[in-house]
Chain A
Amino acid sequence: MEFPEDLKYSKEHEWVLVEGSVATVGITDYAQDQLGDIVFVELPAVGDKVSKEDAFGVVESVKAVSDIYAPVSGKVVEVNDDLPENPEMLNEDPYGDGWIIKIEMNDPEELQDLMTATEYEEYVAEEKE
């Protein structure tokens, strides 16, 4: 299970990569492992507004439907257009080709509420018990 050091993590198992005012968002390795084979994604459109902790999209495994939650608020400036055709990228490369959206943040202060890699790893270990 990977927990890259340069990312921040939400309790809903999304990761955030911050570059200036833009946050790239995906689901974590733990999340994709829990979901199993992902076969469908539903993404927002560029320009959509997202709010921290609100669902902005959906991933579906063979078995179940799960919401994806925004770790920060802002405007969607880019979506990973390859995902709808290749949802398995979320399983195969959750921190790379499986990125989901980029958000122009309204309030970078919200990043304070996210976890570091170490904190998230502990959080996952507790959830597993």
Chain B
Amino acid sequence: MNRTPLYATHQALGARFVDFGGWEMPLQYTSILDEHQAVRERAGLFDVSHMGEIELRGAHALAAAQELTVNDLSRLRDGQAQYSLLCLPTGGVVDDIIVHRLSSERVLLCVNASNADKDFAWIAEHHHGAEVINRSGEYALLALQGPRATAILTGLTPLPLPQVPAFAFAHGQVCGRAALVAHTGYTGEDGWEIYCAPDDACALWDGLLEAGRRFDIRPAGLGARDTLRLERALPLYGHELTDETTPLEAGLSWVVRFTKPSFIGRAALLQQRERGLTRRLVGLMMTQPGIPRQGYTVVHDGAVVGAVTSGTKSPTLGKAIGLGYVASTLGAVGTQLGIDIRGRVIGAEVVRLPFYKREC
């Protein structure tokens, strides 16, 4: 099992660990609900060093990334990032990623931990003349998230954070250590993701928690990360996204730029768009007592019409929520469906996504 440079730090904080994609990661320190609330109302600090980093380098780096990903990199300048997807020729999703344009000859992809090896092999196979470097071992990654995240970080870095808009990033010192500071996150709150050398991870973690103390920050684990992203309806690979689901079905058509003349998966996705979807990802809210969970079937008029991909009781809303794929004809907001929970059909309703959106 892999461990991040912060493993001993988490142990000292009393973390309970969970196996996530081959990594022994903090599930929670005190309580998922407490940590969730801290991020929504104040600030939370996550160790997400398990995430993978892959760099494309050289004169062909941008062109290779354009061909490998479905979003349009021509919209990016140096220091900007975008959410994107690696797709198969079938349109199925290899991974969802963040693409950082470091320069005209360097592109850094942040990929899911459980997919890092698969992604690297896929990218190396489709390098289009770019040099492909697995930098996963060279970065630790801390996510500082919540409405007070910017205030906490401001005191620790000379970087002009107000000049770093959402989905931009900058290189600079944090707590006196070199870092790449990205205005990104996976919680539905404002926040920052800080890439640093593994040897600097403990100093940065301690520095952020120390500075965050007067802002009532909490260390937060993957349990809260999951409930936070689910309320914001951010997809998770292995749940909403797999090699058998397409971005269009997952509600990610905004990511797919058909204006690009070529990218892997384009033909299949274009065909799917023209033919129409047979299923789509929807938000589900229970109308009767029960909690939807991954794998539960969705039923309508006694027939199976889909399946739940993620579900929990929303800490912010106090309601049982889930994401799932259903037949497109049943995807309209307000549609009454049932979810098979331990052999009984429990009522649920299709609701607008996201479940939670912060006030800007």
Contacts and interface: CB of A to CB of B under 8 A. Distances in A.
Nearest to A58: B342
A37 B34 CA distance: 9
A60 B322 CA distance: 15
A58 B293 CA distance: 14
Contacts, number: 35
A40 B28 contact: no
Interface string B123-157: 00000000000000000000000000000000000
Classify the interface of chain A: helix, strand, loop or mixed. Answer: strand
A36 B313 contact: no
B293 A40 contact: no
A43 to B, nearest CB: 11
Contacts of B104: none
Contacts of B33: 37, 62
B32 A62 contact: yes
A42 B320 CA distance: 14
Contact of B226 (A36, A40, A63): A63
A84 interface: yes
A39 interface: yes
A40 B289 contact: yes
Contacts of B293: 65
Interface string B154-178: 0000000000000000000000000
Interface bracket on B = 10 to 19
B32 A40 contact: no
Contact of A63 (B32, B290, B320, B342): B32
B25 interface: no
A61 B293 CA distance: 12
Contact of A36 (B31, B289, B290): B31
Contact of B223 (A63, A65, A84): A63
B315 interface: yes
Given A36-B31, A40-B289, A62 B312 contact: yes
B290 A62 contact: no
A41 B31 CA distance: 18
Contact of A39 (B16, B226, B313): B313
B291 A36 contact: no
Nearest to B344: A42
Interface string A53-68: 0000010111101000
B32 A60 contact: no
B49 interface: no
A35 B293 CA distance: 16
Given A62-B312, A62-B313, A63-B226, A39 B291 contact: yes
B11 to A, nearest CB: 14
B291 A37 contact: no
B227 interface: yes
A62 B227 contact: yes
Interface string B322-360: 000000000000000000001000000000000000000
A58 B32 CA distance: 20
A32 B221 CA distance: 18
Given A36-B28, A36-B32, A36-B223, A62 B289 contact: no
A50 B257 CA distance: 58
Interface string B282-297: 0000000111010000
B220 to A, nearest CB: 13
A36 B226 CA distance: 15
Contacts of B27: 63
Contacts of A42: 342
Given A36-B28, A39-B291, A62 B315 contact: yes
Interface of A: 36-37, 39-40, 42, 58, 60-63, 65, 84
Pairs of residues from A and B, 9 with the lowest C-beta to C-beta distance, nearest first? A39-B313, A62-B32, A37-B33, A40-B291, A37-B31, A60-B291, A37-B32, A63-B223, A62-B312
Interface of B: 16, 27-28, 31-33, 223, 226-227, 289-291, 293, 312-313, 315, 320, 342
6 contacts: A36-B28, A36-B31, A36-B223, A37-B33, A40-B320, A62-B315
Given A62-B312, A63-B27, 17 more contacts: A36-B16, A36-B28, A36-B32, A37-B31, A40-B289, A40-B313, A40-B320, A42-B342, A60-B291, A61-B32, A62-B32, A62-B227, A62-B313, A63-B32, A63-B226, A63-B312, A84-B289
